[in-house]
Structure 1
Amino acid sequence: MFVSRLSAVALVVSSALAGTIGWKRDICGLVDADLTLDTLGVLNVDYGHIGPICLCISGLSDFLTTNAIVAVPVQLLGAAEVEAALGVLIGGSPVCNSSPSTRKRDTYVFNDNMCPKGQSLCGIQSSWTKTDWECIDTKTDLESCGGCVLGVMGTPGDGVDCTAIEGVEDVACAAGHCQVFSCASGFRVSDCGTTCVRTSHHT
C-alpha cells in the first residue's frame, strides 16, 4: 500500500508539473471500485463505491469537493490522503481517455463496448462532470427510447424521452419506439400511436 500511495502521489505531482509547463497529457482511468482507507488506526475502512466513472488526475480537486462518498474521508484524513488513494484507483483501472491531444484539452474515448451487450453508453443529465455516463437499454428505457437523450461529453443524443411527449398519460418504450396508450384530456392518441395530438384548443 505504501508503494502504491507513493505512485499515486507521483501521478498527482506529475499532473501538476504538466499543467505548469504546458504539457497537455492527462492520466484517466475507468474507476469502478470501493474507496478504502486506513483511518484512525483502523485498517481498510470502506467509505463506499466509486463509479463506474472516468476519473482523471486533473479533475481530482473538483471531484473531492463535489462527490458525497469522499466527503467524510476528506474531513477525517485531509484532501491529500484521499487524492492519493483515488490516484491508486485511477492507476489500477482501464484507461478511458485518448492518446495525448494537440488541442487545449484531451478528448475522451467512449463507446458501447464499455456497457453490457445490448446497452448503450449515455451521458447523465444531472452529473457534476460531462464525463459521467451510464449504460441504458435504449430499446425499452422510457427516458432514452431509441437512443441516448444525452450523449457522453454533453453532446446531444438521438433518443426520445417518452415521458416528455406533450399530453401523454400512459406510455411505454418498445423496440426503441415510444408507444402511447392514453393521453390527457384535450388530446388523443395519434394514428401512428407514438404521440398525442390536440383535439381542442384552450385559450
Structure 2
Amino acid sequence: MRFLVVVLLASSAFANILGPLVARQSFASDVCADVTFDLKVPHLGKDFNCGKISACLCKSTLDDFVGSNPVALIASGFVGKAKVIGILEGLIDKGGPSKCTYPAHAVPVCKKGDPCYFDCKDGYTPSPASKPTQCVCKSPNKECNGKCGKYAACPSGKPKRELLPRDSACARGLTACGVLGGRRNAFECVDTVSDLESCGGCVVPLAYTAKSSGVDCSAISGVSDVSCVNSRCVVHRCRPGHRLAHDRSTCEYDEDRDPVLLAAQYGLEHIPLY
C-alpha cells in the first residue's frame, strides 16, 4: 500500500506542484528562473509524464529540490537523480534565466516573478523594498561588528586579553571551548580527543578565535551511529539511502539505496498507472 501512495503522489492527477517561494542558503551568485512544465522521462520506449512543476528554481538548490519534490522524486525513480537535475538545469537555461548576484547579509529567496529576490539577516533591511539590490542598516539603527541594531556604543569586538579564558583554567588534556548561545567569555572544558560535538577542536570557538577548529560528528549528513576517536569522527552506521565512506569519516548519498526512490520505482514497475 505504501508503494501505491508514493506513486499516486507523483502521478499526473495528483502532482501539480506549485513552488512560489523557496528560501535557500546564502550564495554570492546563482542562476534562477520561473519554470512551468510537465516533467517527462523515457519509460518503455515512450515519454512518461511524471506531473507538472510550477516553481522558481535556482541551479544551486536543484539537489535539494529533486530530493523533496514528489514529481522530481518519481522521475528519479525512472532515470536517476543526476539525470533529473540535468533536465531541470536545461529548463532553467531555456526559461529566461536571471543571473543573480547577492550583497552582504543577503538570504536568497527564489520567488515567482522575482527570481533574484532576497531577504536580509543580521538586522539589515532589503532596499529598495520592491526590487532590492542591497541590505542596508536603517536609521536609527547602527552597524556594529557586522550587525545592525540599536547600539549606544560599539566595542571593538576583541575582548580584553585578561578576560579571556585560558586553557590553563582546564584540567590537563582538556581544551577551553566557547559555549553555544552563551556569553562571549563563557567557556567549557572539553576533551576534544573524544567529544562527539567538538571532535578534534572547538566547534564553538573562544571570543578571540578566528574560526572553529573541530567537527560536530553528530551533524554529519546521513549519519546514524558515530563517535569521536583520537580527534576524528568515525562513522559506524549510515541512514537508509547512504553508504559508508571508505575512510569511515562520512556517509555518502546513494540514490540506489534511497528508500523513497526505491519505493517509487517499485510502484512504477509493478502497479499500473491510469
**TM-score between both structures, scaled by the size of structure 2:** 0.34
Judging by fraction of residues, say which structure has more strand. Answer: 2
Judging by fraction of residues, say which structure has more helix. Answer: 1
Q: Which has the higher Rg, Structure 1 or Structure 2?
A: 2
**TM-score between both structures, scaled by the size of structure 1:** 0.46
